[in-house]
Amino acid sequence: MAGIYLHIPFCRQACYYCNFHFVTSPRHKNELLAALLKELELRREYLGDSTVETIYFGGGTPSLLETQELRSQVEQIRSVYPLSDNPEITLETNPDDINGEKLAAWKELGINRLSIGVQSFFEEDLQWMNRAHNASQAFESVQMALQYFDNITIDLIYGTPLLSNEKWEQNVSTATRLNIPHLSCYALTVEPKTPLQKMIHQGKLQDVNPDKQSEQFLLLMQWLKDAGYEHYEISNFARPGFRSRHNSAYWQGKKYLGIGPSAHSFDGKSRQWNIANNIQYTASILQNNIPFEKEVLTATQKTNEYIMTSLRTIEGLDLSRLDDITRGKLQAIAKKYIDAGLMKRNDDFLVLTKEGKLLADGIAAELFS
Ligand code: SF4
């Protein structure tokens, strides 16, 4: 069982906080899409004989593509890779791309899950982030999408300077009232080399406040628990039956193939990532060369990755999967977190409490081999 990720590196405009690989000019789009088709063909052996259970169009903004462009990619995947009976096929979309015609076309292509980049339902927040959509598009696009798709997730961002707890509550309750079955909620991170970082350094924008972010995360967990969502990964909440199969496979250490500039792949033993440059990527693929760097994981790296990802999930870290020495060390370190109320022991599993989730990365780092 495996997944395929396709990176579509085009966006309408640059959100200030974003550090993904994308360009805002569609100038070389046709050549790049041709290269994606070719990479799908060139890498047909990467997943061995694994069946593909999930396909994810991410970016960038894949909803910018014309239906025919998306269709070619879907058809190429179907013709080159063995798919399971009911694959999950997710399309990342932005509210400004959503209309009835596109929704019907996406459905007809076999897309069965939409991930909508709402971020906030408030105009001032969207402008602060330099999103391409406005507040009414945020709301109306989700309403419209629900007429075509059951399986929808939206992204929301908290911890931004303009977002009071009252506005945060309204954002979350708008989502739950709309009956959106899955939410991905992220604390705003000021990434290096982003326009956001530059503007904060220049004093043009206010910096984020970590205490406010922690407070809004705690509120979020309570509100969504009350609304019947399962907090199945630190940033992800789902109504029963609506967990993301694609992202869950990442966290379970399954294989995935990443196609396109900057896309990452994992074959169970090594990770590799394509060059994050559209022109160089396209030129190299057209000469039948995949432009990538690779890292073979050591046993220690594999264990540390497992600690990091499993602690972020609702199931937690399964001690029985570790060798005796590692398990003994982990149990000794975990004791202080259990005593401090940051972690619980459920049979063989170590699970973070709500307060522990605020410190997940630091706790995982201390547990590393
Ligand atoms: S739309 Fe998404 S990928 Fe594009 S700039 Fe904004 S956050 Fe980044």
pLDDT tens per residue across span 203-257:
999 999 999 999 999 999 999 999 999 999 999 999 999 999 999 999 999 999 9
Q: Buried (b) or exposed (e) across 171-207, using 16+ Cβ within 10 A?
A: bbebbbebebbbbbbbbbebeeebebbeebeeeebee
Judge whether 280 and 28 are in contact, CB under 8 Å.
no
For residue 260, the CA-to-ligand 1 centroid distance in Å is 16
Per-chain mean pLDDT for the chain:
97
Tell me the CATH class for 2-250. Answer: alpha beta
Secondary structure percentages of the chain, helix, strand, coil, to 5:
45, 25, 35
Residue 61, ligand 1, Cβ within 6 A: yes
pLDDT tens per residue across span 274-320:
999 999 999 999 999 999 999 999 999 999 999 999 999 999 999 99
pTM assigned to the model? 0.96
**If you take atom 8 of ligand 1, which residue's CA is the nearest one?**
18
Q: How far apart are CA 143 and CA 98, in angstroms?
A: 10
Q: Where are the domains of the chain?
A: 2-250, 299-367
In this prediction, residue 1 has a pLDDT band, given cuts at 50, 70 and 90, of confident
pLDDT tens per residue across span 311-340:
999 999 999 999 999 999 999 999 999 999
CATH second-level architecture of 299-367?
Orthogonal Bundle (1.10)
**If you take atom 2 of ligand 1, which residue's CA is the nearest one?**
60
In the block, residue with structure tokens 């569609």:
26
For residue 79, the CA-to-ligand 1 centroid distance in Å is 30
Judge whether 12 and 52 are in contact, CB under 8 Å.
no
